[in-house]
Amino acid sequence: SQQGEEDPQALSIQEGENATMNCSYKTSINNLQWYRQNSGRGLVHLILIRSNEREKHSGRLRVTLDTSKKSSSLLITASRAADTASYFCATDVGPGTASKLTFGTGTRLQVTL
């Protein structure tokens, strides 16, 4: 079963608009990561936020984490056609040696001109 659930499953916006994706997870985590995947290819790491952090920025990306609600959001500002991809959150669950990444179900983002 999936640890994370992304919402919405699909999102279609126009270039220049902002895109917001949400991730909810079930168990306590050490960190949460966001990845991007272009059409059937490998994943690209976007950003990592640790459980003691609430917000992080990287270029046009802004990630928030609310551990009390077990949720995170990814905001992409001023979107571009090249941002069209699937976005996954991944949580690090398990203590110490049991630590591993568990991926959510993903949000498919379509950015049109």
Partner 1 sequence: KAGVTQTPRYLIKTRGQQVTLSCSPISGHRSVSWYQQTPGQGLQFLFEYFSETQRNKGNFPGRFSGRQFSNSRSEMNVSTLELGDSALYLCASSSVPSGYNEQFFGPGTRLTVL
Contact set with partner 1 (CB under 8 A)? 2, 30-31, 33, 35, 40-45, 48, 88, 92-94, 97-106
Minimum distance from residue 17 beta carbon to partner 1 (Å): 27
Minimum distance from residue 2 beta carbon to partner 1 (Å): 6
By beta-carbon proximity to partner 1, the closer residue of 25 and 35 is 35
By beta-carbon proximity to partner 1, the closer residue of 15 and 47 is 47
By beta-carbon proximity to partner 1, the closer residue of 14 and 57 is 57
Minimum distance from residue 57 beta carbon to partner 1 (Å): 16
Q: Which long-range contacts (CB under 8 A, 24 or more apart) does 90-95 make?
A: 90/4, 90/32, 90/33, 90/34, 90/35, 91/3, 91/4, 91/25, 91/27, 91/29, 91/31, 91/32, 91/33, 92/29, 92/30, 92/31, 92/32, 92/33, 93/3, 93/27, 93/28, 93/29, 93/30
By beta-carbon proximity to partner 1, the closer residue of 98 and 113 is 98
